[in-house]
Amino acid sequence: MKKMLMILMFTLITTVNGVAQTTQVENVIEEVKKEIKTSLPGTVYGVIENNKNYYLINTPIGEYRIDKHKDGSYSFLGVKVKLVSQKNNIYIIDTTLGKFEINVKKGTVKKLK
């Protein structure tokens, strides 16, 4: 579950970086930092609900729902993601935006096709 959430977030970040201007991305990052600093003690970020159809996740910028599909894929903010392979913290994922390689150790995302 944690790995799939990480993959979904990397895909979202890649999409935002590819579409948005740098200043917009920086503004979102600053907003998230501010929300975390000003959050109340006891605030939980992460999965707050998990059932057979979806995960509900609390983030510093709001709650989001990740839908589970019977074919083993997930969808989040209109992007469908399926894990193709995993080896040594390198994940190959197929999305509606293309195929990506995510190297968790290096923190890199590379679009394959």
Whether residue 62 is contained in a domain is answered as: no
> Is 53 strand, coil or helix?
coil
Question: Tell me, what DSSP letter sits at residue 54?
Answer: E
Domain region containing 9:
2-18+70-111
Average pLDDT, the chain: 75
Q: Tell me what pLDDT residue 15 has.
A: 56
Q: What is the mean pLDDT of residues 50-65?
A: 81
Residue 87 has pLDDT above 70, yes or no: yes
Residue 73 has pLDDT above 60, yes or no: yes
Q: What is the mean pLDDT of residues 80-99?
A: 85
Beta-bridge mates of residue 100: 93, 111
Residue 70 has pLDDT above 80, yes or no: yes
Whether residue 89 is contained in a domain is answered as: yes
Q: What is the mean pLDDT of residues 19-23?
A: 52
Whether residue 32 is contained in a domain is answered as: no
Whether residue 40 is contained in a domain is answered as: no
Q: How many structural domains comprise the chain?
A: 1
pTM check: above 0.75? no
Whether residue 102 is contained in a domain is answered as: yes
Q: What is the mean pLDDT of residues 65-94?
A: 85
| 82 and 73 Cβ atoms separated by less than 8 Å | yes
